[in-house]
Amino acid sequence: MTNYLNNSDINRIHREHVLKNTMQDYKYVPLPMNRNVNNWKWEGKDFPRVIALLELDEFFKKNNFLFEKVLCINGDDDPEFEFLPYKNKKIIHYEADPRNNDLHNLNLQEKDYDFCMLNQTLEHLYDPIRCLKNINAHLKTGGIFYCNVPVINIPHMTPYHHYSGFTPTGLGCIAEAAGFEILSIGSWGNKEYTVKLFENLDWPSYQDLLTSGLNEKEYPVITWIFARKSNE
């Protein structure tokens, strides 16, 4: 059953998890190039993913996590793995087994994962709340869910690009509707990135931007959430 959210719920999510967690404008100005040391180098990569990675690393270090069993959707080469503290992982790909790995009907044998990661995928799911509910069902109580998703984007992977993106508040709402407890929501973006994204119909890297690290909250382009499976 999908949890119903009323106006008070939506305003609470916006007030407590979006407005309170707004990133400082100059947090990543200048860009911390000393952290560009992993296998997934920032050069030529979609820049908002870099910011999301830096925030992911910060969240993990702050909470001192070490996950026993990790479930990852469609992402064996995701750069997030370089920051993820885990012992065992299971990766499922929709294309490898469309019948059993479709998040809309996911029903894996094991349902005791303590972490699940879904990166840059939610906009390609025609029923995202149903998919998040299925992910929730595969986590043990207290398990952590992480997702990053565009707020805006250019069309890609057509016809499987169902949503242009999700606002930070919208991401929080569908997470709660799916039964998750929100831990943290973040976002980043700026005007220069937005303009170049649509002018060139390609994803700018930091090398393409004069104001690469600057966060302008009026122009969000990526959002992410950390959420927890609450007691059933």
pLDDT tens digit sequence for 147-194: 999 999 999 999 999 999 999 999 999 999 999 999 999 999 999 999
- Asked if residue 199 belongs to a domain, the reply is yes
Instruction: State how many domains the chain has.
Output: 1
**The pLDDT value given to residue 186:** 98
Residue that is written with structure tokens 């700026």 in the block = 190
- As a whole number of angstroms, the distance between CA 210 and CA 75 comes to 30
- Asked if residue 2 belongs to a domain, the reply is no
Sign of CA dihedral 112, 116, 122, 124: negative
pLDDT-derived band at 77, boundaries 50, 70, 90: confident
Strands of the 180-188 sheet, one edge to the other: 86-92, 67-73, 113-119, 139-150, 222-229, 180-188
- Asked if residue 222 belongs to a domain, the reply is yes
Report H helices in 69-115. none
Give the residue, 74 or 126, on which the prediction is more confident.
Answer: 126
**The pLDDT value given to residue 76:** 78
Q: Helices 128-137 & 168-177, crossing angle to 10 degrees? A: 50
What CATH number is attached to the domain comprising 38? 3.40.50.150
Longest CA span, the chain: 49
- Asked if residue 179 belongs to a domain, the reply is yes
Q: Does pLDDT of 231 surpass 80?
A: no
Q: Does pLDDT of 43 surpass 80?
A: yes
Bridge partner list, 188: 222
pLDDT-derived band at 232, boundaries 50, 70, 90: low
Question: Chain-wide mean pLDDT for the chain?
Answer: 95
**The pLDDT value given to residue 33:** 97
Quote the percentage of the chain above a pLDDT of 90: 93
Domain range spanning residue 18? 7-229
- Asked if residue 57 belongs to a domain, the reply is yes
Q: Does pLDDT of 75 surpass 80?
A: no
- Asked if residue 1 belongs to a domain, the reply is no
Tens-place pLDDT, residues 112-147: 999 999 999 999 999 999 999 999 999 999 999 999
